[in-house]
Every structure is written in structure tokens, then in C-alpha cells.
Chains A and B, each alone.
Chain A
Amino acid sequence: EVQLVESGGGLVKPGGSLRLSCAASGFTFSPYSMNWVRQAPGKGLEWVSYISSSSRYIIYADSVKGRFTISRDNAKNLLYLQMSSLRAEDTAVYYCVRVVPAADYMDVWGKGTTVTVSS
């Protein structure tokens, strides 16, 4: 079964840091580009960051640029999102998402991990 499983969410104080992980299984991870997408409570979907299959291309939303770092370990089938200088507005469910090759559609989503930034 094709699966993405996120972990690492939790409660963190403003200004703090957190690292999210996403474990891929059921498919060959290395050829696929990956996204992180988030959803604030009661709100819509917001794309956060993209990483190409080889990590050559990395892109961030303006809202997280300079604070978040995306990375991957193809040998371990893992995707990461290092988040620092967290703000209340970063509170959201964070989804790990597989990108359809040669397009930017998102065909496999994890169940999400919740990040809450609050004092």
C-alpha cells in the first residue's frame, strides 16, 4: 500500500523549533518530488515547500522562507521539514504530499501531523 506517515508535530512556544518527518512506503520514493502542505484550523490548504527528487530544486512559500528547511533522505525514504522561529500563524496540520511527475498535482497525501504554536 502506498503510504506517507508524518510525525514530529506537537505544542511549541513562539520562537521555538520543531522537525517534522515523513516516512514513505509502498512505492519507490527516490524518483518523486515532494511537497509539504498545511491547513490552519478551519481554513483552507496552503502549500509550504517543495523538494525535487534529487534535492536539486527546493522552493518555499514566502510565509516560511528563511524559517523552514525542507530536506530528504532517499536511502531511508524520509522527508523532513525543519521549522524554526515558529509563530502562532504556523499552527496547522502539516501534510506530506507526493507530487505527480512532470506536473504539480498532488496524488498521495499523508494523514497529517498537528503543530500548535502557543505560549
Chain B
Amino acid sequence: DIQMTQSPSSVSASVGDRVTITCRASQNISNWLAWYQQKPGKAPKLLIYAASSLQSGVPSSFSGSGSGTDFTLAISSLQPEDFATYYCQQANSFPPTFGQGTKVEIK
């Protein structure tokens, strides 16, 4: 199975800050990567697919980049509604696997 490793596990930031989260795959996954946002008690929400394509309805403050084994999710200007846990997921091969999550907390 492909292992997905996110860093950091948590980050404290203020409204308006730029935040970046990194996801590393244990082998080359090309651009078969998605990012999800999950708020407490809610289901995950697809933000980005194919490493850098924004899902419909997702604010342009979110962006994704990377290919191969190293990927980044960036939030350009953190808003109050962006405080959540973020997961990466590889879609290169079965089984689909997720990173362990990165919690974005209010500083």
C-alpha cells in the first residue's frame, strides 16, 4: 500500500495568515492526489483533486501543487471557517490511502 505522510500534524495560525500543508507519498503517484477538509462532527469535503484542480464551489484561497511524491496545500489568507482538519489522499492505486491529517487551529 502507498503510505501518505502529512506535515505538520497541527499548525496554529491567525486569521489572514498563509498556511501550507505538505503531503508526501511513499512512491510516485504522478498527480493522483486529493485534499479534503473536515470540520468537527462533519463529513470530509473534497477541496482539490488531481493535485491542483479546485473542486467546484471551493474558494480560490485554496490551492494545491506538486507531483510525483511531494505535494502542498496552501491557504492564502486563512478565514475563520477554514479552521479544520485537512487530509490528503492518493488515488494512484488501490487501496486509496489517506494522510494522518493536519489540524489547523486558531492561534
Contacts and interface: CB of A to CB of B under 8 A. Distances in A.
Interface residues of B, number: 23
Q: Which of B50, B55, B95, B100 has the most CB of A within 10 A?
A: B95
| Chain B interface, >50% SS class | loop
A95 B44 CA distance: 9
Contacts of B62: none
A112 B98 contact: no
A88 interface: no
A47 B95 contact: yes
B95 A110 contact: no
Interface residues of A, number: 19
B95 A61 contact: yes
Nearest to A49: B95
B43 A104 contact: no
Interface string A6-35: 000000000000000000000000000001
B95 A45 contact: no
B64 interface: no
Interface in A36-76: 44-47, 50, 59, 61
A107 B101 contact: no
Contact of B96 (A44, A104, A107, A110): A104
